[in-house]
Amino acid sequence: MVDLKCTADFCLIPMGTETASISKYIAEVQVLIRSSGLKYSMHSAGTTVEGPWDKVMELIGKAHELIHSLGVSRVQSDIRVGTRIDKVQSFTDKVDAVEKILKEKDEAAGKS
């Protein structure tokens, strides 16, 4: 069991589908994620999920199972997963930290 908190960003690709459009599969995965209770955010290149390692990885595994159950024989995901023990940081804090620095740089440059 791994209880470590993680942030995982995953991009799931159904393979051997009839067409190259996969939005209907991604929508099904979004419904699954929404029902998980974990904090998440979808963007154009994947979905970021935050929570205990086991829960997050189980969710991504269940997403694979779901796509298989819809008739897709092969599924590939790319997962970027990070853990840190020096401080508690939500994935939303990361963008805030960068944007704060950018704002300060702009102000210093007299842009604001």
Binding residues vs its own copies (CB under 8 A): 1-2, 4, 6-7, 9, 11, 13, 15-24, 26-27, 30-31, 41-46, 48, 53-54, 57-58, 60-62, 64-65, 68, 72-86, 91-92, 94-95, 97-98, 101-102, 105
Residue 25 one-letter amino acid: Y
Smallest separation (angstroms) from its own copies to the CB of 92: 6
Closest to its own copies by CB, 20 vs 110, is 20
* Paired tokens of 18: 């009839």
Q: Which two tokens stand for residue 71?
A: 């008739």
* Rounded distance between C-alpha atoms, residue 91 and residue 40, angstroms: 9
Give the nearer residue to its own copies in terms of CB position, either 37 or 61: 61
Could you tell me the smallest distance in angstroms from the CB atom of residue 36 to its own copies? 13
Residue type, 68: H
Cα–Cα distance, 110 to 112 (Å, whole number): 6
